[in-house]
């Protein structure tokens, strides 16, 4: 049992580049280690982008399959996770383009549980719903940048690597996204203050 | 001393903790004496906090069950990713620490090596093929194991035409054709 645990620990702690080398050497099954390591991260990214769990799961799976297909082209100039993010982001953007919704505000009924009949809870739910809708209305590059920054915790430099743009561009996209959302939230701030 | 506009341009970095110590102290000093910028900083901070704490739509139980297995099933049908010979060669050169800082030199070395091999192959005089006998009389073809000649095998398909030549048809003529 201890031996198994030790083996698992060794496998889990194996750096990405070693796992990739094993896959490229023909050990296809080793790719599962990478999938297990990043499946939550990529799924969460896709979920934030699509706000639909099933779509997010399918996109995340597709991202891993595409990563496997292109693994020989991964040169290790960035982290594997950055490279994987790039694949997933492109898939999400294509998905959003293909399934552009007419009224983004109406699609998200699960933002918060509004069973409690208190004004505060209701207001919070409405504000979250408006915020989610405002994020969906952002231009795609701003939306991706915001997601990577606010929810995935990437630095501006890492975002620039994922989106293959200048660091300043990534920073500007984030800035404009936050300012746009701030304008949307100002209406709720007025209500907060008057309440 | 920076103006309010200059400070507000850096408020997001300030809120995100992206500023260095000196810059942060400078912004904090400005905010302590400027109520308008202080209000702007507070509003920006609230916005960032609300964005970050925005709930993600709930995921149904078991949605990600078998996720990794499903990916493995899909990639089982894919071709195994293969690294090109060029990449393997350059990766091998990269193992030499002295060459690592100069990837262009590594690439040039590999290119030179390949070029030298190619030139050596081209400049090598053609090797005479082993004698191959083709018997027209017995209709049996005996070919030495020579791939170069096998590639020219389509020439033998024209043997019927050669057979029609008068010299080959003359009585007593040697009907075995010697090719080299």
Among B61, B67, B73, residue whose Cα is nearest residue A43: B67
pLDDT, tens digit (0-9, with 9 covering 90-100), for A147-191? 999 999 999 999 999 999 999 999 999 999 999 999 988 877 666
Residue B82: band (very low, low, confident or very high) from pLDDT cuts 50, 70, 90: confident
Cα B40 from Cα B31, distance rounded (Å): 9
Higher-confidence residue of B133 and B27: namely B27
Type and span of the H or E element at B35:
helix B35-52
Higher-confidence residue of B60 and A131: namely A131
A190, A139: one domain = yes
Q: What percent of chain A has pLDDT over 70?
A: 82
Would you say residue B151 has pLDDT above 60?
A: no
Residue B86: band (very low, low, confident or very high) from pLDDT cuts 50, 70, 90: low
Q: Give me the pLDDT at residue A114, please.
A: 47
Contacts of A160 in chain B (CB under 8 A): none
Half-sphere exposure of B130 (CA within 13 A, CB side): 7
Contacts of B8 in chain A (CB under 8 A): none
Does residue B94 belong to the interface with chain A, where contact is any CB pair within 8 Å?
A: no
A120, A191: one domain = yes
User: Angle CA(A127)–CA(A131)–CA(A134) in degrees, nearest 5?
Assistant: 140
The pTM of the full predicted model, rounded to 2 decimals, is 0.66
Contacts of A26 in chain B (CB under 8 A): 80
In chain B, which residue's Cα lies nearest the Cα of A28?
Answer: B80
**Considering chain A, what is the average pLDDT of its residues?**
85
What six digits make up the tokens of A113? 């549980």
Would you say residue A12 has pLDDT above 70?
A: no
The pLDDT of A80-90, averaged and rounded, is: 95
A7, A93: one domain = yes
A110, A175: one domain = yes
Would you say residue A22 has pLDDT above 60?
A: yes
How is chain B split into domains, by residue range? 4-52, 85-123, 132-179
Q: What percent of chain B has pLDDT over 70?
A: 54
Would you say residue B173 has pLDDT above 50?
A: no
A3, A94: one domain = yes
Does residue B147 belong to the interface with chain A, where contact is any CB pair within 8 Å?
A: no
Cα A33 from Cα A10, distance rounded (Å): 12
A114, A49: one domain = no
Of A100, A122, A145, the residue at which a domain comes to its end is A100
User: Angle CA(A48)–CA(A49)–CA(A50) in degrees, nearest 5?
Assistant: 100
Q: Give me the pLDDT at residue A78, please.
A: 86
CATH code of A174's domain: 1.10.10.10
A164, A147: one domain = yes
A56, A117: one domain = no
Does residue B83 belong to the interface with chain A, where contact is any CB pair within 8 Å?
A: yes
Q: Which of A35, A47, A174 sits opposite B71 (nearest CB)?
A: A35
Contacts of B84 in chain A (CB under 8 A): 72
Of A85, A100, A115, the residue at which a domain comes to its end is A100
Question: Phi and psi (nearest 5°) for B41?
Answer: -65, -40
* Residue range of the domain that includes A23: 1-100
Of A100, A119, A146, the residue at which a domain comes to its end is A100
Does residue B95 belong to the interface with chain A, where contact is any CB pair within 8 Å?
A: no
What six digits make up the tokens of B102? 């100069």
A13-17, B2-6, B61-65, B121-125: segment of lowest average pLDDT: B121-125
Give how far the C-alpha of residue B166 lies from the chain's centroid of Cα atoms, to the nearest Å. Answer: 59
Give me the residue label for tokens 């200048």. A166
What six digits make up the tokens of B149? 């000649």
A173-187, B57-71, B138-152: segment of lowest average pLDDT: B138-152
Q: Which of A64, A108, A185 sits opposite B57 (nearest CB)?
A: A108
Number of domains, chain A: 2
A123, A148: one domain = yes
């Amino acid at each position: 049992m201890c031996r198994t645990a030790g083996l698992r620990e060794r496998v889990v702690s194996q750096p990405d580049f070693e796992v990739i080398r094993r896959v490229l050497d023909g050990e296809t099954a080793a790719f599962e280690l990478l999938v297990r390591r990043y499946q939550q991260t990529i799924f969460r990214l896709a979920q934030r982008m699509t706000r639909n769990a099933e779509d997010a799961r399918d996109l995340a799976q597709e991202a891993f399959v595409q990563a496997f297909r292109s693994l020989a082209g991964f040169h290790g100039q960035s982290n594997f996770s950055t490279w994987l993010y790039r694949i997933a982001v492109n898939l999400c953007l294509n998905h959003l383009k293909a399934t552009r919704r007419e009224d983004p505000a109406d699609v998200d009924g699960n933002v918060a549980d509004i069973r409690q009949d208190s004004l505060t809870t209701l207001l919070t739910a409405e504000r979250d719903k408006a915020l989610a809708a405002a994020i969906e209305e952002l231009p795609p590059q701003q939306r991706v940048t915001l997601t990577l920054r606010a929810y995935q915790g990437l630095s501006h430099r890492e975002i620039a690597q994922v989106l293959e743009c200048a660091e300043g561009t990534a920073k500007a996209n984030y800035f404009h996204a936050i300012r746009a959302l701030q304008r949307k939230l100002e209406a709720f701030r007025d209500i907060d203050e008057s309440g | 001393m920076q103006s309010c506009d200059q400070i507000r341009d850096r408020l997001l970095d300030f809120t995100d903790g992206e500023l260095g110590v000196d810059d942060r102290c400078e912004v904090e000093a400005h905010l302590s004496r400027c109520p308008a910028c202080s209000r702007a900083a507070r509003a920006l901070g609230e916005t960032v906090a609300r964005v970050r704490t925005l709930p993600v739509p709930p995921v149904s139980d078991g949605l990600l069950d078998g996720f990794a297995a499903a990916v493995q099933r899909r990639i089982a049908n894919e071709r195994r990713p293969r690294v090109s010979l060029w990449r393997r060669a350059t990766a091998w050169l990269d193992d030499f620490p002295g060459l690592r800082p100069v990837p262009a030199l590594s690439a040039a070395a590999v290119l030179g090596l390949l070029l030298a091999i190619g030139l050596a192959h081209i400049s090598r005089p053609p090797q005479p093929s082993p004698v191959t006998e083709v018997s027209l009389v017995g209709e049996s073809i005996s070919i030495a194991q020579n791939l170069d000649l096998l590639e020219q095998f389509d020439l033998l398909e024209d043997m019927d035409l050669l057979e029609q030549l008068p010299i080959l048809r003359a009585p007593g003529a040697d009907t075995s054709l010697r090719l080299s």
